[in-house]
Structure 1
């Protein structure tokens, strides 16, 4: 299944009361399973993916449409089943931003976070077409 943000895709509203479960954790943080997505209009298009059990740990994430055009990671059948996705519209796709200094940041397009909007189950996936994407896609400061 290819997942992408489309005009028909419902926008996501950050809500700190909605706990997103990542049963496998994130790469390098496999023991951390519960997150909330937080953000504000002033920080758009960026969100904070806050770890529930570690209040001092959060990841900056961004919808791929804010970074690149035509980003359509292709999920394996195993990932689709794991997430319980019935259609591409059920998926919220986010990418982790890495701040590399005061004037440099990158976005991981190779390992997107895919969240089922209905069940709030998420997984960091390696898409079948991962070779098309960069793990350190440059993000211009001020974007």
Structure 2
């Protein structure tokens, strides 16, 4: 077990549970190792915490909780980077942002692909005009 000091306090973790992002995240390519932080509250949001720089942590979610038709499938090159084949499990996550006026948005144009079998992650850029880096949550009627 290893320990890091984070905004959540001292966190003990098993290095075998670390998610490795070989290319880092967009704009943060130096951050390559993350932990999934246990969710303290019920709900669809959770944190990923950088092991490389404990000052960085992000809220993420499964975007299909809010956008049921949202679907991203890794292409051959992305599967190679994730070290999975066509049948390998791949989860899609979106980074969540809360603005100063409390508007919650999801980065649907830059989702994170995560392969649990290999513990590899990859952030990709979608060329789809329907999605934005700050896509507001759908209005509840």
Distance 1:134 1:88, change over 3 A: farther
RMSD of Structure 2 on Structure 1 (CA): 2.1
Gaps of 5+ in 1: 1-15
Aligned length: 125
3-state SS of the aligned residue for 2:129?
helix
Normalised to the residue count of structure 2, the TM-score between the two structures is 0.78
Q: Say which structure is richer in helix.
A: 1
Residue in 2 aligned with 1:42? 41
CA distance in structure 2 between the partners assigned to 1:75 and 1:22 by the alignment: 15
Residue in 2 aligned with 1:33? 32
Residues 90-120 of structure 1 show CA distances to partners (whole Å, capped at 9, x for unaligned) of 1121100112114212100111100111010
Q: Which has the higher contact order (CA 8 A, sep 6+)?
A: 1
Query: Does the 8 A contact of 1:106 with 1:137 survive in 2?
Result: yes
> Which runs of structure 1 show a deviation greater than 6 angstroms over 4 or more consecutive aligned residues?
none
CA distance in structure 1 between the partners assigned to 2:42 and 2:23 by the alignment: 28
In our comparison, the structure showing a higher alpha carbon Rg is: 2
Q: Which moved more, 1:51-60 or 1:40-49?
A: 40-49
